[in-house]
Chains A and B, each alone.
Chain A
């Protein structure tokens, strides 16, 4: 079963979770044998930018010990052989710096999405 998980909500609860919960969930599914691919769309394409820094947050004397490192999480997914795509137009509209992107992300045009999703048995938007 081939699964495509589409992620377009970004930075939702990532500070208190110290993760993006959907990238995490899909990594967990992969660890359990799921043949999962990721499509970043909308604001979630920004996860592909290297150097995101959420360090230094504290509430009184309670500091966030392990801030999320979403670019590194994406790199780990790619290293685990999860195909990660990103919608090309969404990247361009947000002026993502081409020289600062996580390696291994494949661009997919919006026009190409209808054909792309045919390859998957399940297509889930999170």
Chain B
């Protein structure tokens, strides 16, 4: 781990809609193995990634049950990232933009993420060694 390094990542895409979600989570995973603090600012649709109510499902085309399909949910992937942070000793600060949460009804989240605002994003940026803003289209 690179001692003392801070990375801030801003993401916007909702889950299950683009390739960006997995790329962003891969970056965060890699960052938790290198940096001391990783701040994620989830804006717009990205706030849905941590919704507690996400459910896996069966796959009738493949003929699999819920158990067999083991369909990923982004909330579980992100829970995995929080667990990784505990393991590496890094801090993962996942901030969901509060107004985006409100308009999407995405307030019930897994443990770990917190509600925040653009101010929190800017405060994190000021303390960061690196910033990656991942746009949407």
Contacts and interface: CB of A to CB of B under 8 A. Distances in A.
Tell whether any CB of A sits under 8 Å from a CB of B in the complex: yes
A25 B125 contact: no
Interface residues of A, number: 17
A117 interface: no
Contacts of B131: 122, 124
A122 B125 contact: yes
Interface in A4-18: 9, 12-13, 16-17
B62 interface: no
B136 A9 contact: yes
Interface string A97-124: 0000000000000000000000000101
B133 interface: yes
Interface in B68-105: 103
A32 B119 contact: yes
B122 A34 contact: yes
Nearest to A28: B118
Contacts, number: 37
Contact of B126 (A1, A12, A16, A125): A1
Sort chain B's interface into a size bin: 10 to 19
A33 B122 CA distance: 9
A21 B137 contact: no
Contacts of B44: 13, 21
Contacts of A16: 103
A54 interface: no
